[in-house]
């Protein structure tokens, strides 16, 4: 399930009539897997400075610069006079009209050097946005980037490059106790009145049933139609992207169905992943997506799905379940999470810029 060929320009020199200005002897160019240790070092230093602790591991970055992840991504790095990587930019053709942008500059270089690196990465991202937008036949291409809530340096660069802050996100976590394995009768399949909850079906070879996967995709597309920055994503793009996650597990996908219909009708879905264990700790679970169709809201579907992943995490010996909540949503959806024990660990922001695509 691999989407169309890479829509980005893989040669940076083809994007610019002249190279963006950098300190004398510094270069902007491509990157391969050999750079993983250095990119991880840069990201961990960034996390530690902007958030207060580092969590990134090489596996988190691997998919961004190796196949099959490069089917929808492109990367560039800036090297100083000694050849060391001091900045990294990454773009991801996330969905129709939406391009994610990673912008990372070393904390160890002088401010004027960092500013030049930042400007070069933004110029590269703008050029890539025009390129991918043209290939998709769009008039406007969105660049979606982000920052930690306390990272004033990153926010200043984004603002100076014409981005605007559009959303705040609570990154929440909930502890899991061993006895919570009994929250539901069986996390693989159980019922509550006229709503049933089950893992997506699997064949003998362990691969999931495509009909169930399409049901999950359809439910999530329908549930998020009116949500912030919702962009249509094909079934192939959806599956390809989620399978890239290092924590992807097919047995972390659940469907909720209304059993008062014949045949039962999918009405909710939850896609989870496995969280890497902290040093000396155990893995956790993470809610990538949870969605309920409007026609089924108010029937305990979301709460049932959340109880299911908590019980599943407890049965696996995990110690936490994480998720992300839209702090600016007018629906007040965070209420169910707070009531069920989730608390905010840190806060992030979304910043957007709309790029006009030349005809």
Judge if 141 and 271 occupy the same domain. Answer: no
Domain that holds residue 201: 177-318
Q: Write down the mean pLDDT value for the chain.
A: 92
Examine residue 77 and state whether it is found in any structural domain, yes or no: yes
Look at residue 1 and tell me whether its pLDDT is greater than 50.
no
For the ranges 98-102, 195-199, 244-248, which has the lowest average pLDDT? 244-248
Judge if 187 and 93 occupy the same domain. Answer: no
Judge if 159 and 35 occupy the same domain. Answer: yes
- What does the block give as tokens for 328? 């600016």
Judge if 185 and 127 occupy the same domain. Answer: no
Give backbone dihedrals phi and psi of 5, rounded to 5 degrees, phi first.
-55, 155
pLDDT confidence bin for 258, thresholds 50/70/90: very high
Examine residue 336 and state whether it is found in any structural domain, yes or no: no
Q: Give the pLDDT mean for 83-109.
A: 95
Question: Is residue 147 within 8 Å of 158, Cβ to Cβ?
Answer: yes
Examine residue 6 and state whether it is found in any structural domain, yes or no: no
Look at residue 172 and tell me whether its pLDDT is greater than 70.
yes
pLDDT at 2: 42
pLDDT at 234: 85
Judge if 120 and 158 occupy the same domain. Answer: yes
Look at residue 22 and tell me whether its pLDDT is greater than 60.
yes
Look at residue 248 and tell me whether its pLDDT is greater than 80.
yes
Judge if 133 and 21 occupy the same domain. Answer: yes
Examine residue 18 and state whether it is found in any structural domain, yes or no: yes
pLDDT confidence bin for 244, thresholds 50/70/90: confident
What is the domain count for the chain?
A: 2
Judge if 106 and 185 occupy the same domain. Answer: no
Q: How far apart are the first and last CA of the chain?
A: 31
Which pTM was predicted? 0.90
| Burial environment of residue 346 by CB neighbours within 10 A (0 to 12, 13 to 18, 19 or more) | middle
Give the domain CATH number at 114.
3.40.630.30
Examine residue 332 and state whether it is found in any structural domain, yes or no: no
């Amino acid at each position: 399930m691999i989407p169309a060929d890479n829509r980005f320009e893989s040669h940076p020199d083809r994007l610019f009539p002249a190279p963006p200005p950098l300190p004398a002897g510094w270069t902007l160019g491509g990157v391969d897997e050999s750079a993983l240790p250095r990119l991880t070092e840069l990201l961990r230093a960034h996390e530690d400075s902007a958030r207060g602790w580092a969590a990134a591991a090489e596996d988190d970055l691997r998919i961004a610069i190796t196949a099959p992840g490069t089917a929808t991504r492109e990367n560039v790095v800036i090297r100083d006079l000694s050849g060391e990587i001091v900045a990294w930019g990454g773009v991801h053709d996330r969905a129709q009209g939406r391009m994610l942008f990673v912008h990372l500059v070393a904390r160890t270089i002088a401010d004027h050097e960092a500013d030049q690196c930042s400007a070069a990465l933004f110029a590269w991202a703008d050029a890539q946005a025009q390129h991918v937008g043209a290939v998709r036949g769009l008039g406007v291409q969105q660049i979606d980037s982000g920052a930690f809530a306390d990272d004033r340096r990153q926010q200043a660069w984004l603002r100076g490059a014409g981005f605007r802050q559009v959303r705040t996100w609570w990154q929440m976590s909930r502890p899991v106790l061993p006895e919570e394995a009994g929250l539901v009768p069986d996390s693989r399949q159980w019922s509550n009145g006229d709503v049933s909850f089950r893992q997506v079906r699997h064949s003998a070879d362990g691969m999931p049933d495509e009909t169930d996967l399409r049901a999950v995709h359809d439910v999530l597309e329908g549930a998020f139609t009116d949500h912030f920055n919702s962009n249509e994503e094909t079934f192939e793009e959806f599956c390809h992207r989620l399978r890239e996650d290092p924590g992807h597990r097919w047995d972390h996908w659940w469907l909720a169905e209304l059993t008062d219909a014949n045949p039962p009708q999918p009405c909710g879905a939850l896609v989870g992943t496995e969280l890497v264990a902290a040093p000396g700790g155990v893995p956790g679970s993470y809610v990538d997506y949870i969605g309920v169709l409007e026609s089924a809201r108010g029937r305990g579907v979301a709460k049932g799905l959340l109880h299911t992943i908590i019980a599943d995490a407890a049965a696996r010996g995990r110690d936490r379940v994480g998720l992300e909540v839209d702090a600016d949503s007018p629906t007040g959806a965070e209420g169910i999470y707070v009531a069920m024990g989730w608390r905010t660990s840190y806060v992030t922001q979304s910043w957007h810029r709309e790029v006009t695509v030349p005809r």
